[in-house]
Amino acid sequence: MNMRMKIFIAASTVLITTFFIALTGCAEKTAAKLNLSAASSLTDALKEVNTLYTQKNTNLIITPNFASSGTLQKQIEQGAPADVFISAAASQMDALEKQVLIVTDSRNNLLNNKVVLVVPDDSTLGITSFQDLTEDSVKKIGIGDPKSVPAGTYGQQAFDQLGITARIQSKLALGSDVRQVLSYVESGDVDAGIVYLTDAKTSSRVKVVANAPADINTKVVYPVAVIKSSKNQDAAKKYIDFLFSDQAKTVFEKYGFTPLGK
């Protein structure tokens, strides 16, 4: 092979390599990015839903941020990047709507859930109701901080309605979100805990012993909306449409949620 041919081949290799690098870079630049802020109780279900959605929309990257609804609300208020918000209670979404931080006509109730009382799977305390939490044998009760965790707020309302708050207040161990409360119960760090039914279904180390009062569980709704500062509102709205699809509903039902119509 003469020198001229070697130079030609080397130059061609460089050009081809440069072309593919440019093509890859171009693809990365055109990929839409969606920042999803969602209540921690949705972690497992949304991971599966997001996988289904991105399999159909290969040019979309979904970056989830799972935390308590109150924490997510504060992050959005402080300007954290978010395109879609799914709260575990209406109050956090209401607060953002009052501050004109969501696209109002994009707001819809997505799911229902239930608040339940769980104990470690090997518990021998005989807890079968919320009233049993007042027994001296029960030393610690896990609950999300009512100030920022909707499940904790609902749990506190249940205690108040049942008239047991004063008798159990000193036993409460506050968690930063409902998944942390679940871990307290799984590890036996608490004798019982207040979580969502969907969280309880994810663990083989806890068992449900009681439901919160029916009128409290009817309040457990998950609203979804597009954040007004989003630079990808079209992509956000299409994603929300998918959350109401039959395919997504099947996933939510598998994890114990009750899907709602748009």
- Cβ contacts of residue 120 below 8 Å, gap of 6+? 185, 186, 188, 191, 205, 206, 207
- 91 and 59, same domain (yes or no): yes
Same domain, yes or no, for 211 and 128? Answer: yes
Residue 204 lies in a domain: yes
DSSP structure string for 44-63: HHHHHHHHHHHHH-TTEEEE
Mean pLDDT rounded to a whole number for the chain: 91
pLDDT tens-digit map of 184-195: 999 999 999 999
* Strands (DSSP E) found in 150-243: 172-175, 192-196, 206-211, 221-226
In a domain, 12, yes or no: no
Whether residues 142 and 56 share a domain: the answer is: no
pTM: 0.81
Parallel/antiparallel/unpaired status of strands 108-112 and 221-226: antiparallel
**Total domains, the chain:** 2
CA-based nearest residue to 223, from 113, 115, 125, 99? 113
Residues of the chain above pLDDT 90, percent: 87
Q: Answer whether 71's CB lies under 8 Å from 190's CB.
A: no
* 122 and 106 housed in the same domain: no
Let me know if 126 is exposed, middle or buried by CB neighbors in 10 A (0-12, 13-18, 19+): exposed
What average pLDDT does range 144-148 have in this prediction?
Answer: 95
Pair 119, 213 in one domain: yes
Residues 247-259: pLDDT tens digits?
A: 999 999 999 999 9
For residue 180, pLDDT over 60 is answered with yes
**pLDDT score, position 30:** 65
Is 178 in the same domain as 212?
A: yes
The two three-digit tokens of residue 20, written as one number: 């593919």
Domain assignment of residue 25, yes or no:
no
Judge whether 2 lies within some domain.
no
Asked whether residue 246 is domain-assigned, the answer is yes
Report phi then psi at 212, rounded to 5.
Answer: -65, 160
Q: What is the pLDDT of residue 15?
A: 44
Confidence class for position 14, pLDDT limits 50, 70, 90: very low
Regarding whether 62 and 153 lie in a shared domain, the answer is no
Position 262 scores a pLDDT of 76
Domain annotation covers residue 16: no
Contacts of the segment 243-251: beta carbons below 8 A, 24+ positions apart: 243/49, 243/110, 244/108, 244/110, 247/52, 248/49, 248/52, 248/53, 251/45, 251/48, 251/49, 251/52
Per-residue pLDDT at 82? 98
Average pLDDT score over residue span 124-130: 98
- What DSSP state is assigned to residue 212? P
Q: What is the CATH classification number for the domain harbouring 161? A: 3.40.190.10
Determine the structural domain holding residue 134 and report its residue range.
115-217
Same domain membership, residue 244 and residue 187: no
Instruction: Say whether both 108 and 129 belong to one domain.
Output: no
Determine the Cα–Cα distance for residues 71 and 80; give it in Å rounded to an integer.
Answer: 11
